[in-house]
Chain A
Amino acid sequence: MEAATATTPVRPAPATGSGWRRTDRIFVGVCWATGILLCLIAGSLVLFMLVKGLQFLSVNLLTTHPVSDLDQSKTGGFLDPLIGTVILAVLGTLIALPLGVGAAVWLTEYGRPSWLARAVESGIEMVAGTPSIVLAIFGLLLFSQQFLSFLSFTAAGNAVFGRSFFAAGAMMSLIALPLIFGATRSALQAIPGHVREASYALGKTKAATIRRVLLPMSREGVATGTALGMGRIAGDTAIVVILLGATLRLQGVGDVPVVGTLRGTGSTLTSYVYNNSPAGEGNAPDKAYAAAFVLLMVVIALNFGIDLITSRRGRRA
């Protein structure tokens, strides 16, 4: 052994770039440039939001209800849109999570008949490719139907309003669904077949294997998909404007506390930013910046929270 190491010639590490062909050098240069460019874009975005956002952000903004007023100093904060964002993200995820995970499990573990599997797959791909404003219009049509009137409020003359947290949450779930589905499916596909067989060989049924072995093993994938999906929900504007009513404050329907709010309308940070940007009717760019910054923080916090939950559960296992 020692002799072998002694006789092994020590090769000097090749100096990077020396003796490379010109095309290689150009290629490496382009790679570096694109990488740095993307870093600069991301960095300037965060920096811009940080400077602008922190400049106008105050605790007051986070804790006061918004007020409609021409005088900028009296328009209040954005407590309601902040709550609206959280409600919508949670509601949409709660609907999308079982659907996405269920579809992914069915497709990878059963997947028969195969024509149905193909149909489900392309169906989900189509939902993923549908612009959210199309989903929003479709949702408005759907939730204005009489038989779904219990999900929003009914105006005088029996017209169903069709706009509520329920309606928006249901459509938002379609935005998160493909992401959760995709991440769960690839996590399940990454589990080697002999792990499933090991469970079957212990006399376990498929259902028991899925519940106790496969789903716990794909927990991380599910979490990633959920985090991405929540981020997309929190960031969507079209569905909020069309299906949530984009009313400045939360306006519940009926007397039941939680259900009333969910049946009612509201707004989210995205619609708030839109309305207060120079393009919207509110035209209060200061607050738009502050709200946009908070939105960014909410999304980051959501992702971080999910990471924390999954890693803690993972460590216990």
Chain B
Amino acid sequence: MSAGSTMPPPIRRIELDASPTVVPPSAPETKNGGHSSVGLAAPRRRPQRAAAGIERMRAEALSVAYGGKPAVTEVTLPVRKGEVLALIGPSGCGKTTLLRSLNRLTELTPTASSTGSILLDGEDIHAQEVTSLRRRVSMVFQQPNPFPMSVFDNVAYALREQASRRPARDQLRPQVEEALRRAGLWEEVGDDLSHPALRLSGGQQQRLCIARALAVRPEVLLLDEPCSALDPRSTQTIEDLILKLRDELAVVIVTHNLQQAYRIADFVGFMYLGELVEYGPADQVFGEPKAKRTKDYISGGFG
């Protein structure tokens, strides 16, 4: 580093005309702990996972286009319970679109169209009622966006049926407390649940959003760059939280932050120009990427 500090860093360009070298999703093999050659030296926070969990969701040859312009092409991807799946890739590569299709939020964009299928426990999600699907596959967004209500009401809103004010506060209290505990926010807000949610700090707001998403008891939790608006400390809190939640549900996280993916992910999907270039155990993707583009991206060649 010190020797080359006066020199500009080498720029490695990715050949845009080359056809992508897509590596077929490999079955989770035995983990080889060696991740020596490329990339990241940060300590991994996650303990090694022994075996793959039960598959909850599966995208099968999924393609999504916005007004005819493809955003995701032919992606096949399993989402398993008990593990964190990180989707990485440069901006505009379709990670968020893929994530949003998993609970049919892409439908809110009038120009979006999709082919292929997404299965939740073997059942096509498009055959399901959308509100109940979204309660099973819930989502946390990039910007902390609690509703302008009290902390209690934010969680209670998620628990109650549509616009109803029932069940009453007293009946919901245990469930609200549990959701806040699971999101690691109870110690901080437990003594004043009537505190306006918008007056919490950014990290607390994001954990409240997680609590809100957990309150509906989802089976899959989608996180769209949940830490990108937060400081390192709040980020760490949320990462710890994600690792804790991993045991109970399937977690899919989109992140721009490779270090973060490296720290918390069990499996990593690398997307580029709408394609899933590589999918595999985090150790393998970060340690010995099979595709050249993955290697380039992970070692900082582009992105």
Contacts and interface: CB of A to CB of B under 8 A. Distances in A.
Interface string B130-151: 1111110011011101011110
B163 A199 contact: no
Contact of B141 (A197, A212, A317): A197
A208 B149 contact: no
Interface string B96-140: 000000010100100000000000000000000011111100110
A199 B213 contact: no
Contacts of A204: 131, 157, 162
Most B C-beta atoms less than 10 A away, residue of A198, A205, A208, A217: A198
Interface string A197-232: 111111111011001110011000000000000000
B253 interface: no
B245 interface: no
A216 B163 contact: no
A200 B135 CA distance: 9
Contacts of B158: 202
Contacts of B212: 198, 202
Interface of A is mostly: helix
B163 to A, nearest CB: 4
A194 B149 contact: no
A126 interface: no
B216 interface: yes
B18 to A, nearest CB: 36
Contact of A195 (B147, B162, B216): B147
Nearest to A211: B163
Contacts of B163: 207-208, 211-212
B84 interface: no
B209 interface: yes
Given A207-B162, A212-B163, A201 B150 contact: no
A317 B151 CA distance: 10
A26 B248 CA distance: 70
Contacts of A195: 145, 147
Interface in A233-247: none
Contact of B196 (A197, A198, A208, A317): A317
B213 A201 contact: yes
Interface residues of A, number: 21
A130 to B, nearest CB: 34
A157 interface: no
A212 B153 CA distance: 10
Contacts of A208: 162-163
A203 B158 CA distance: 8
A9 interface: no
Nearest to A193: B108
A192 interface: yes
A212 B157 CA distance: 8
B135 A217 contact: no
Nearest to B165: A212
A205 B162 contact: yes
Interface in A167-210: 192, 194-205, 207-208
Given A198-B145, A216-B149, A203 B157 contact: no
A295 B139 CA distance: 53
A205 to B, nearest CB: 6
A198 B205 CA distance: 13
Contacts of A212: 147, 157, 163
Contacts of B139: 197-198, 201
Most A C-beta atoms less than 10 A away, residue of B130, B149, B153: B149
A199 B149 CA distance: 13
B107 to A, nearest CB: 9
B108 A197 contact: yes
A201 B145 contact: no
A202 B213 contact: yes
Contacts of A217: 147-148
A317 B150 contact: yes
A216 B131 contact: no
A212 B105 CA distance: 20
Contact of B143 (A192, A207, A317): A192
B105 A200 contact: yes
A205 B129 CA distance: 11
B103 A201 contact: yes
A210 to B, nearest CB: 8
Nearest to B110: A112
Given A208-B162, A208-B163, A201 B105 contact: yes
Contacts of B132: 203
A194 B143 contact: yes
B148 A317 contact: yes
A207 B131 CA distance: 12
Interface of A: 192, 194-205, 207-208, 211-213, 216-217, 317
10 closest Cβ pairs, A-B complex: A203-B135, A208-B163, A208-B162, A201-B139, A203-B134, A203-B131, A211-B163, A202-B158, A198-B145, A194-B141
12 contacts: A192-B145, A194-B145, A198-B145, A201-B213, A202-B135, A203-B130, A204-B162, A205-B162, A212-B147, A317-B148, A317-B150, A317-B153
Given A201-B134, A201-B138, A213-B157, 11 more contacts: A194-B145, A200-B108, A201-B105, A201-B141, A202-B212, A203-B130, A203-B131, A203-B138, A205-B131, A216-B147, A317-B149
